[in-house]
Structure 1
Amino acid sequence: MNMRKPVLILLLSSTFLAPCAASAADDAESRGLANVKQFTLDHNRRLVAQAELLEAAVADYAGVIAGHGGDYEKAWEADGARLSRQIAAIRTLWLETSNQYETIEGIVAGIPSTAKYDLILDAGNSGSEAEDVAEYDLKLPDGTVLQRPGNLFHGITEPLFWGMDEKGVKLPVDLDADGKIIRGEMLFDANLGQGAAQALVQWAKALETDMSAWAPNRQDAFTSVVVMTPTVGDYFGEWKESQFITGEIGAFVAQSRLTDVQGIMNGCRKMYSEAISPVVAAADADLDQRITAGFKELLTLVDDTHAREAAGAKFGVEEADALGNEAQDIADRIVAMILQAAAKSGVTING
């Protein structure tokens, strides 16, 4: 999982702006901040809606298992075709739910008041790790409580629903009825699946509550972009180590990690273009243009790489490393320019 950098505290002023320019910039900044908040809330609400559909689908699956006394073999023998369809539906709904969150992760994870939700939903480690622990416990329908089990999307539900977590596999089965069973074809632990799906709904709603209460401000906008943009290298590293590069099945099996990179970096660019660009442009229009161009260069690299992968291109570890290093270099340049812009606008940054 990603190592989040300590949140930077930004103290801002607009000393160098002429009164009229300052007023126009402030108006544009206010509109931009409001737009970012509305965008985040819109996708947060879709996240909740999709999580509820996922919860219902997992409950249906669990109902079939329970209908056979919790005996997975009997359930498969009697309702195998139905269970296969249910697992396929659960995987589709998981992707739709996860992608709603990835669209806003670059914003949520960088704002101090909402950053904890990124650890719980998507990026946090289990309690066995020393850093970036997802601070929550998971209660399952049978009353079991899993203490600090790790993030819900990539730590629990993805490996569970795709059969990558051996502890969650209850019965290997031929899901696609092709006469053979490969890894990932299985019935998963319904008790864990239900508890995790319920938790996704719970924490998605809690995020919506705190995001609704968030008062958009310049400090959070700068903080979000400065903290999250440099994480692009970490995500490319996870892509390099995934089955899409190495062929070894492990984490991040549902879809390419590049999909997540696109969502996160687009969130960073949106925060900059909507909420920060008006402030920077008022002090130094050329610098604003260079930062904007930097984000375009970064997203073009990510989009082109993902498009090549989707078209069937195979990337080796060395090429994945090179692409990750290139993305990291661009991100670092962007952040350096944003820090320069902060100084030009009278911003003092204390790390």
Structure 2
Amino acid sequence: MRRTLLCLTPVLLLAAQPGFAATESEGLAQVKAFTLEHNAALVANAQKMQGSAEAYAALIAAHGGDYKAAWEAEGPKLAEAVTAMRDQWLAASNEYETIEGIVAGIPSTAKYDLILDAGNPGTEEEDVAEYDLTLPDGTVLKRPGSLFHSITEPLLWGTDKEHVKLDADLNGDGQIGPGELLFDANLALGAAQGMVEWSKALETDMAAWEPNRDDAFTAVVTMTPTVGDYFGEWKESQFLGGEGEAFIARSRLIDVLGIMGGCQRMYNQAISPVVSTDDAALDGSITKGFDELIALVTETRDREAKGDKFTAEEADALGSEAQDIAERIVAQVLQAAAKHGVEIKG
């Protein structure tokens, strides 16, 4: 697969296939425990990223903010800091994507999805991330968009041209390839601090969440049909020859596996025990639908990883197929919700 940027991409450590809980209360508790486990790992990796950003900023500051002078004097240390921040970003993103299908679907925690991962800047009309980011030098960025994909990913991988400070041979091969650069230290540190702050805030609210049937059904109904949008982002990304600034550190399909895996987990553990009590056929059909959806995304990602090149038309077709499965799942989950007096929120 053609890459247009330096890409340090580990395999996403997806959680094991979610099993089925014996009872609804047990399943809800399992979903919460799973989410808190990965939230804690998100916080830990964000803190590591902040530490690397602090080291990077200190090296730049030691040379009076002169990136060229800093590179000439401390090139290996700066390259190490950049690599560390990218690796830690990927690790943090892995943890969040694994729980996004849950976090973004629960009304009391949905705002964190906009702030951390999916929100637009204030210049847009919809899905704006409602927060401001204060940088170390006191600059306040009003409604700057999501921390992962609007700020840090474009910054760290260099598609945010405004904040590229110096082209630099990070890998020491004597050439400057795509993505080899130094970026704005003030923004990097401020954004890393923001990631720590908001991932901790999510952890606090998730710990306070009281798992319930309405939230479980709402999460699945809300997040499962977003799969088509993710395929659209994949189509527009640089992995398929697009020019998007985000979704360039790794394939968007990896994120889709995490998000849809979270939806599947919520169904298997928290909802299936409800549906199966009086309609085993409906439960089996929904379960099969999720298996088909995950299999489609997995197969597509495996093909991509092996080097298959997809056209925009193929991406559209795969996205439409995934969307059809998702909509069938949602229709059946809504049918079950009606039978059990569930209130879909939002």
Would you say the 8 A contact 1:119–1:134 is kept in 2? yes
Q: Does residue 55 of structure 2 align to residue 72 of structure 1?
A: no
Match of 2:119 in 1: 124
Instruction: Quote how far apart the aligned CAs of 1:247 are.
Output: 5.1
SS in 2 for 1:283: coil
CA offsets 1:109-147 (integer angstroms, 9 cap, x no match): 000000000000000000101111101000000011101
| Residues 125 and 134 in structure 1, CA contact (< 8 A), matched pair in contact too | yes
Residue 222 (str. 1) matches residue 221 (str. 2) = no
Q: Does 1:272 align with 2:301?
A: no
Name the amino acid aligned to 1:202: E
Offset from partner CA, 1:216-257 (integer Å, 9 cap, x none): 000100000000000000000000000111254632110000
Instruction: Tell me, yes or no, if structure 1 residue 208 matches structure 2 residue 176.
Output: no
| Matching residue of 2:9 | none
SS in 1 for 2:182: strand
Determine the C-alpha separation between the residues in 2 that align with 1:36 and 1:202: 23
SS at structure 1 position matched to 2:133: strand
Aligned CA distance change for structure 1 residues 189 and 349 (closer, same or farther; 3 Å): closer
Question: How much has 1:183 moved relative to structure 2?
Answer: 3.7
TM-score by length of 1: 0.90
Q: Deviations over 1:6-50 (max 9, x none)?
A: xxxxxxxxxxxxxxxxxxxx9700000000000000000011111
**What is the distance in 2 between the residues matched to 1:130 and 1:249?**
20
Q: 8 Å contact 1:120–1:136 — kept in the other structure? A: yes
Deviations 1:31-87 (CA, angstroms, capped at 9, x unpaired): 000000000000000111111011001111111111111110100111112211221
Report the identity percentage: 67
Partner of residue 167, structure 1: 162
Question: How far apart are the structure 1 equivalents of 2:225 and 2:178?
Answer: 35
Taking the TM superposition and a 5 Å limit, the aligned residue runs for 1:97-116 are 97-116=92-111
Unpaired segments of 5 or more residues in structure 2?
1-20
User: Is the contact made by 1:283 and 1:345 (CA closer than 8 Å) also made in structure 2?
Assistant: no
Partner of 1:89: 84
What secondary structure, in the 3-state scheme, does the structure 2 residue paired with 1:288 have? helix
Which residue of 273, 277, 291 maps to 2:286? 291
Residue aligned with 1:92, SS: helix
> Given the alignment, which residue of 238, 243, 247 partners 1:243?
238
The one-letter amino acid paired with 2:102 is I
Q: What per-residue deviation string (whole Å, max 9, x for no partner) do you get for residues 270-291 of structure 1? A: 0000000011111200100000
Is residue 2:62 matched to residue 1:62? Answer: no
Matched, 1:188 2:183: yes
State whether residues 225 and 327 of structure 2, in contact with CA within 8 Å, keep that contact through their aligned partners in structure 1. Answer: yes
Aligned CA distance change for structure 1 residues 32 and 67 (closer, same or farther; 3 Å): same
| Structure 1 unmatched runs, 5+ | 1-25
* Counterparts in 2 of 1:64 and 1:349: CA distance versus 1, 3 Å: closer
Residue aligning to 1:7:
none
**Partners of 1:164 and 1:183 within 8 A in 2:** no
Q: Which whole-Å CA distance do the structure 2 matches of 1:167 and 1:247 have between them?
A: 20
Contact persistence 1:43–1:100 (CA under 8 A): yes
1:335 paired to 2:330 = yes
Partner of 1:148: 143
Corresponding residue SS for 1:141? coil
CA contact (8 A) 1:57 1:90 kept: yes
Question: 1:328–1:284: structure 2 CA closer, same or farther, 3 Å change rule?
Answer: same
Q: Considering only aligned residues, what root-mean-square deviation do their CA atoms show, in Å?
A: 1.6
3-state SS, counterpart of residue 223 of structure 1: helix
Q: What's the offset of the Cα at 1:328?
A: 0.2
State the one-letter code of the partner of 2:211: P
Partner Cα distance (1:349, 1:220) in 2: 8
Matched, 1:32 2:24: no
Paired residues of 2:214 and 2:344 also in contact (CA < 8 A)? no
- CA 1:334–1:54: 2 relative to 1, 3 Å: same
Alignment match, 1:312: 307
CA offset at residue 348 of structure 1? 5.8
**SS state at 1:282 partner:** coil
Structure 2 equivalent of residue 257 of structure 1: 252
How many residue pairs get aligned? The number is 327
Asked whether the 8 Å contact 2:217–2:344 carries over to 1, the reply is no
Contact conserved, 2:60 with 2:66, CA < 8 A, in 1?
yes
Query: Aligned equivalents of 1:242 and 1:47: distance in 2?
Result: 24
Distance in structure 1 (CA, Å) of the matches to 2:342 and 2:22: 18
Q: Give the Cα separation in 2 of the matches to 1:110 and 1:349.
A: 11
Equivalent position amino acid for 1:51 in 2: A
The verdict on how the C-alpha distance between 1:155 and 1:224 changes in structure 2, with shifts beyond 3 A counting, is: same
Q: CA–CA distance in 1 between the matches of 2:73 and 2:166? A: 14
